[in-house]
Amino acid sequence: MKIVSLFVAILTALFSGSGWAAAKPIPNPPELDATSYFLIDFDSGRVLAEKDPDKHIEPASITKLMTAYLVDKAIADGDIALDEMVTISEKAWRMKGSKMFVEVGKQVPVEDLLKGLIIQSGNDASVALAEHIAGSESAFAGYMNHQAQLLGMTNTNFVNATGWPDENHYSSARDIATLTRAVINEFPESYAYYKEREYTYNKIRQFNRNRLLWRDDTVDGVKTGHTEAAGYCLVASAQREDMRLISVVLGSDSDKSRTQSSQSLLNYGFRFYETHKLYRAEEVLKTARIWYGEQEQVNLGVGKDIHITIPRGRYRDLDASMEIDREISAPVAQGQQLGQVNIKLDDELMLSEDIVAMQDVGEGSFFVRTMDSIKLMFR
């Protein structure tokens, strides 16, 4: 049984003037020249616009997001190092399409190859890194699919590290957004490469194909892709003030179109929505009575930072309610669910998150347990 404690989240006002912000209708997302698209807030995960987000498409060079992600994981796990030398195989050297122009038999540092993969979209760099980590590109594809499953990418299957066309190599706009969130969140130092506009290797200067990097200085990534079957694709991310959005546009008919469509999606999201951090993972939201415990109170909070994305101008209209277990008994483990916090806007449930114990509370002495039993009888 739970008791409900209502409290209005009248939080710090972000807007000048007085009175409640008027509710304004949000227009439909822009019409785009794309097979599918997806717009999501990075922090809250709220979907702001979508069209066929789970449709299978060839991801082309957007595939390299997963390749780079696995390189970063190998570095983080200590399996390889940025200054480690990679010997370029003939297969890597012979790769067609976009290249960073490494030479067969030469040794190249992992960091140089990672930059060539991300900035120049080098197929040769992708294969060289895949072979270095897994022994072969096909074995590396197995790693890619395993990681896709761990991330919850349910409409994705990889057969290579580059995005080279194959009927069994596919992904979706939603899955690509999921992967992009992981890239940005887990490896911010490596993510900084994605905003670099150019890279010179072997005296060959090449430019990043993401034209948004020149048009919008709030854009700091992410990756383009193109094949005849896939069309022109672009996953982009931008941060304006404290809000970051991720857009995925797949199957446009030109480079110009994918750029304009991505810009339109980002502008739409920033224009009509805002994101706020409501609670911090370490923040104590409430203390509650705990029975039979070595202490009488337990601190309650949330297990992670909680963000919410809402229509712009509606922050002060949020209502929050907490539902806490009526009778909490020791022992209680840190992180154990003991209730929920619900956030509503105009009676619509916007967010529901678990309330958890902030610390372990063990059982009290025999005397404490006996006294608490008596107290509960007369409660």
User: Which position among 36, 64, 261, 264 bears the catalytic label?
Assistant: 64
61 is catalytic: yes
d(CA 101, CA 94): 10
172 is catalytic: no
User: Which position among 36, 44, 89, 121 bears the catalytic label?
Assistant: 121
d(CA 274, CA 59): 30
Q: Which of 183, 186, 89 is nearest to 130 (CA)?
A: 89
Query: Residue 61 corresponds to which tokens in the numbers above?
Result: 């060079």
Dihedral of CA atoms 236, 241, 242, 248 in degrees, nearest 10, equals -10
DSSP 201-262: ETTEEEE-S-THHHH-TTEEEEEEEEETTTEEEEEEEEEETTEEEEEEEEEESSHHHHHHHH
DSSP 22-72: PP-PPPPPPP-SSSEEEEEETTT--EEEEESTT--B--GGGGHHHHHHHHH
User: Which position among 61, 98, 257, 264 bears the catalytic label?
Assistant: 61
Residues in CB range of 52: below 8 A, 6 or more apart: 35, 36, 173
Phi, then psi, of 288 in degrees rounded to 5: -130, 150
Cβ pair 39, 268 in contact under 8 A:
yes
Point out the residues that are catalytic: 61, 64, 121
